[in-house]
């Protein structure tokens, strides 16, 4: 019996190799793996002694040889294969341990060169892993150190079952597929960030994600769920550090991300931003130069919906803010950090999850599953300049209205369409979301704002096809409207705004968020 061990991640490998040696396996290895195993006192046969050929081209070619791949691919149940292997002097290889060069870690380095990245693309490893996985009835392939224990126990107690061999082979092919996906994305990225849509959306597209958690269930108890991270990404909600509280659920991740994104969408203002999210929509949102005041304003936006919601911060939570939150039940609190006294206060909440989150890179693509496939698009992350917006009414905006419209317009991007936002003094006063009729969203936003709707600005994520939305805004108490424009009835809508004494600006850009 022979085992070929060649792994970049050698966590636990020495102990596993000792299990194999104790069962009488001859251990084959290469390079650094061989050196580490020899230093541990194991008897190792160099692959070069098996192939009769030295490692060449700076180690680029070492296992790519018929005596290695023949030993991996030869079917023991096929008499012709067995005879040919004997004729060629090829011995079978029964166990392979392999994982690949650190391509992701390499390209994550600042100022990494293309040459350095290319040198960390593994060739022999994937070929060897795929060959072993293809022939899994005869060859056990292990790519994950966490599998050493169960495989070692099976080998020590009679052999690896066929079911386990198949699982290991599946994991091996996925390991290589994820690796190849990283390489493809890296080589495609310079073109994909330009205007070439064929580069951004290639004919074949895969995504390589790594599982970080399995919650108790998905959106509902009868649905299973899994949480995955983008390889190389250390920020964002899926990588959050839980400082206190019970385990995260599937929807906790979903809503916490909405709160985190919302709170970090106003960084250009240079103020504290606090979001309160319920069912992925911000029901409270505000900015202020004082964090505790920003929280109080966000909470006041909808004190009823805030119950059981998620609170997001874009700055380190202070003790003053933690005290201001007293008495309100929240499922999650997300922030880039917490003052020690603030964490002590928040840790008294038995169930509330307190998460420390770091910034993450904007995804290159957004993906949504639909029947038969997926919808893929660029994220809605364009930079907009409010000074470029067009005033289309006779009445001109005040500086305060312009400021409130900039806030409302950004807030509107965070609400599911048909999205309507009422805002005043950098504070969300009311919103309408998810309605099939935009006028209904206006009504709901105005009703949610109540008396505070007086003097508000209103933002709409898309144009108004009829004047009724504008009329509803005025009836609720709004004094200004910001919207994309572009309807065939824009002129009727403008005339309605003029008749009602409203200010209205067109942005020229819409922000649907379904």
Could you tell me the two tokens for 287?
A: 């900015």
Could you tell me the two tokens for 231?
A: 């390889």
CA–CA distance, 13 with 7 (Å, rounded to integer): 8
Q: How many CA atoms lie within 13 A of 506 on its CB side?
A: 14
Three-class DSSP category at 293? helix
Greatest extent of the chain over all pairs of C-alpha atoms, in Å: 95
CA–CA distance, 495 with 478 (Å, rounded to integer): 16
367 close to 207: Cβ distance less than 8 angstroms: yes
Say which DSSP state 122 is in: -
- Would you call 279 a catalytic residue per the annotation? yes
Catalytic residue of the set 18, 75, 134, 171: 134
CA–CA distance, 171 with 142 (Å, rounded to integer): 8
CA–CA distance, 227 with 210 (Å, rounded to integer): 8
- Strands 330-335, 309-313: pairing kind: parallel
298 close to 324: Cβ distance less than 8 angstroms: no
Catalytic residue of the set 75, 171, 279, 489: 279
Tokens 């960030």 belong to residue = 193
Buried b (16+ CB within 10 A) or exposed e, 145-178: bebbeebbeebeeeebeeebbeebbebbbebbeb
Catalytic residues: 134, 279
């Amino acid at each position: 019996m022979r085992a070929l061990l060649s792994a970049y991640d050698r966590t636990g490998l020495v102990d596993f190799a000792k299990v194999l040696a104790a069962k009488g396996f001859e251990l084959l290895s290469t390079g650094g793996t061989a050196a580490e195993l020899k230093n541990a006192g194991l008897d190792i046969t160099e692959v070069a002694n098996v192939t009769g050929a030295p490692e060449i081209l700076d180690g680029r070619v070492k296992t790519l040889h018929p005596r290695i791949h023949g030993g991996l691919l030869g079917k023991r149940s096929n008499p012709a294969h067995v005879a040919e292997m004997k004729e060629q002097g090829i011995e079978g290889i029964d166990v392979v341990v392999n994982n690949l060069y650190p391509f992701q870690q390499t390209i994550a380095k600042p100022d990494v060169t293309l040459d350095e990245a290319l040198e960390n693309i593994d060739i022999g490893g994937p070929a060897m892993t795929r060959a072993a996985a293809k022939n899994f009835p005869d060859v056990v392939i292990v790519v994950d150190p966490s599998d050493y224990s169960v495989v070692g126990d099976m080998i020590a107690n009679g052999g690896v079952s066929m079911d386990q061999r198949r699982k290991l082979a599946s994991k091996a092919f996925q390991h290589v597929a994820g690796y190849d996906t990283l390489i493809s994305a890296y080589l495609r990225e310079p073109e994909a960030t330009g205007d070439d849509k064929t580069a951004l959306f290639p004919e074949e597209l895969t995504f390589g994600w790594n599982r970080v958690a399995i919650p108790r269930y998905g959106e509902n108890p009868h649905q299973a769920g899994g949480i995955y991270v983008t390889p190389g990404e250390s920020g964002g909600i899926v990588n959050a550090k839980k400082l206190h509280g019970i385990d995260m659920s599937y929807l906790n991740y979903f809503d916490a991300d909405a709160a985190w994104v919302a709170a970090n969408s106003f960084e250009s203002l240079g103020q504290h931003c606090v979001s309160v999210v319920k069912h992925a929509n911000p029901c409270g949102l505000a900015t202020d130069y004082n964090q505790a005041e920003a929280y109080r304003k966000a909470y006041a936006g909808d004190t009823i919906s805030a119950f059981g919601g998620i609170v997001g911060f874009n700055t380190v939570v202070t003790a003053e803010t933690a005290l201001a939150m007293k008495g309100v039940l929240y499922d999650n609190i997300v922030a880039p950090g917490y003052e020690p006294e603030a964490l002590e206060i928040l840790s008294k909440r038995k169930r509330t999850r307190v998460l420390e989150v770091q910034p993450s890179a904007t995804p290159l693509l957004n993906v949504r599953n639909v029947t038969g496939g997926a919808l893929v698009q660029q994220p809605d992350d364009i930079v907009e300049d409010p000074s470029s917006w067009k005033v289309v009414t006779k009445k001109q905006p005040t500086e305060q209205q312009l400021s409130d419209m900039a806030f409302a317009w950004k807030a509107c991007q965070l609400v599911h369409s048909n999205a309507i936002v009422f805002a005043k003094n950098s504070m969300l006063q009311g919103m309408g979301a998810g309605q099939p009729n935009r006028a209904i969203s206006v009504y709901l936003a105005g009703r949610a704002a109540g008396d505070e709707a007086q003097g508000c600005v209103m933002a709409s994520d898309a144009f108004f096809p009829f004047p009724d939305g504008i009329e509803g805004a005025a009836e609720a108490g709004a004094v200004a409207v910001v919207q994309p424009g572009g309807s065939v009835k824009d002129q009727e809508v403008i005339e309605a705004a003029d008749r009602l004494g409203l200010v209205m600006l067109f942005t020229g850009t819409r922000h649907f968020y379904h």
